[in-house]
Amino acid sequence: MKSTKICVIGLGYVGLPLARLFSTKYETVGFDLNESRCLELMAGHDSILEVSDDVLQNAVSNGFRCTSSIDEIKDCNFYVVAVPTPVDKNNCPDLTPLYNASVTVGKVLSKGDVVVYESSVYPGVTEEECLPVVERVSGLKFNKDFFAGYSPERINPGDKLHTVENIKKITSGSTPEISRYIDEVYSSVILGGTHLAPSIKVAEAAKVIENSQRDINIAFVNELAHIFAKIGIDTLDVLEAAGTKWNFLPFRPGLVGGHCIGVDPYYLAQCAQRHGHNPEMILAGRRINDGMGEYVALETVKHMLKKGSQVLNSELIILGFTFKENCPDVRNTKVIDIYKALREYNVNVTVYDPWANPEIVKHEYGIDIVTELPEKKFDACIAAVAHRQFDGMDVLGLLKDKHVIFDVKCTLDRSIVDARL
């Protein structure tokens, strides 16, 4: 087989770390439609902070290239698609980015080439939705003129311990020979090892159930938080006591957002419904988790009223907006649900987040946030995200004498908190 030259399509949280890693062993080109993103990366800086400047600059100096020109990827022969797979406003899978990436692949594909999809999908999408597009655009025949595989991404944004090279990788291919070839390519750079799945559909299913399982487990403890709040006992106290049993699973309540956990269950549910099964547990978990932002807002308002605080036109600060701590990723953040619910009560909400990009937040959600603490005093505070900048923060110094504090992540001193999940 000819020398492997890799093109990674999509240079976001998944694509860039993978492309950089591939570039340590193979000639690698990163492709992204966003020209300014490519220029930024070629200048040696990743604004989403997944790859450090020194690592990226070293990769570029050793030949790694990023481009928005399709002509520059035509001589590649191993294409990896790493584009987002979101849901629409009705929580239905939106495969538009995958279709568009498949068109791009089809325009540059040559005989003997391989295309591997990494985007999270339900079983069947690669072979039934994506590859027909590649066939139509390229004029080539699948499994005769070109071949395919699926290797689901397992990137955890902001996690500097479980990086792409350290996470075990599932691989699969459209023929036994191609399966082995794809597995060899990945295993040559993945220190955590690989697991060769027997089929593309099995690999797709494995990915989508990983996050669905976690979503359901978090939904369970979120429902416990509802119950225990009504009883008047602390959820974390209960979980710590129950956790003394060796087989109790250590899940914690919280907001479930981001690009995977809050999205993948809807892909699995769509697949189930297409095959005539009603996924009751999966969708019940989603309903609980999707309602947690509003729940936090309503509990905060309830505690304000109990203390005799004026809710109308009150001043409230939310600490954190990103979907997780110590990461600038605001995709599918559920903090926006807290914000919107509070605004329905005409609460004046200030969102402070030193990690989030205000321009991106404004573009995606239509709200303004601040990256520096304002000097005014607030009637209430919701600690939504546990950024390290908030460790040891004088939260009481932000607040008026009569105030309410809701601690979503259970990181504040318990003695100053009015309620927490």
pLDDT digits (tens, 9 = 90+) for 173-188: 999 999 999 999 999 9
User: Is the fold of 5-207 the same as that of 291-420?
Assistant: yes
Say which of 38, 66, 130, 260 is annotated catalytic. 260
> Of the given ranges (96-110, 114-128, 256-270), which has the lowest mean pLDDT?
256-270
- Give the Cα separation of 209 and 65 in Å (integer): 34
Mean pLDDT on 48-59: 94
pLDDT at residue 1 tops 70: no
Q: Confirm whether 66 is a catalytic residue.
A: no
**What's the whole-number mean pLDDT along residues 273-289?**
96
Flag whether pLDDT at 109 surpasses 60: yes
Q: Report whether 62 contacts 100 (CB < 8 A).
A: no
What is the C-alpha to C-alpha distance for residues 20 and 119, in angstroms, rounded to an integer? 17
128 alpha carbon, distance to own chain's centre: 25
pLDDT, tens digit (0-9, with 9 covering 90-100), for 352-364: 999 999 999 999 9
Tell me the angle at which helices 235-242 and 200-231 cross, rounded to the nearest 10 degrees. Answer: 120
The pLDDT, as a whole number, for residue 158 is: 78
Q: Which residues neighbour 259 within 8 Å (Cβ) at sequence distance 6 or greater? A: 13, 84, 86, 157, 329, 331, 332
User: Does 155 score more than 90 pLDDT?
Assistant: no
The ranges assigned to domains in the chain are 5-207, 291-420
Confidence of residue 157 (pLDDT cuts 50, 70, 90): confident
- Predicted confidence at residue 216, as pLDDT, reads 97
5-207 topology per CATH: Rossmann fold (3.40.50)
Cα–Cα distance, 9 to 129 (Å, whole number): 18
Whole-structure pTM value: 0.93
Residues 322-345, mean pLDDT to the nearest whole number = 96
CB atoms within 10 A of CB 286: 22
Mean pLDDT on 212-216: 96
Contact 189, 220 (CB under 8 A): no
Q: Give the Cα separation of 130 and 124 in Å (integer).
A: 9
Q: Is 322 exposed, middle or buried (0-12, 13-18, 19+ CB in 10 A)?
A: buried
291-420: which CATH architecture? 3-Layer(aba) Sandwich (3.40)
pLDDT band for position 260 (50/70/90)? confident
When pLDDT is cut at 50, 70 and 90, the band that residue 156 belongs to is confident
What are the b/e assignments for 98-122, b being 16+ CB within 10 Å? beebbebbbebbeeebbbbbbbbbb
Percent of the chain with pLDDT over 70: 100
Given a cut of 80, is residue 388 above it in pLDDT?
yes
Percent of the chain residues topping a pLDDT of 90: 95
The rounded mean pLDDT for the chain is 95
**Torsion angle defined by CA atoms of residues 51, 156, 386 and 415, in that order, rounded to the nearest 10 degrees:** -150
Question: What pLDDT was estimated at residue 69?
Answer: 96
pLDDT band at 322 (very low <50, low <70, confident <90, very high): very high
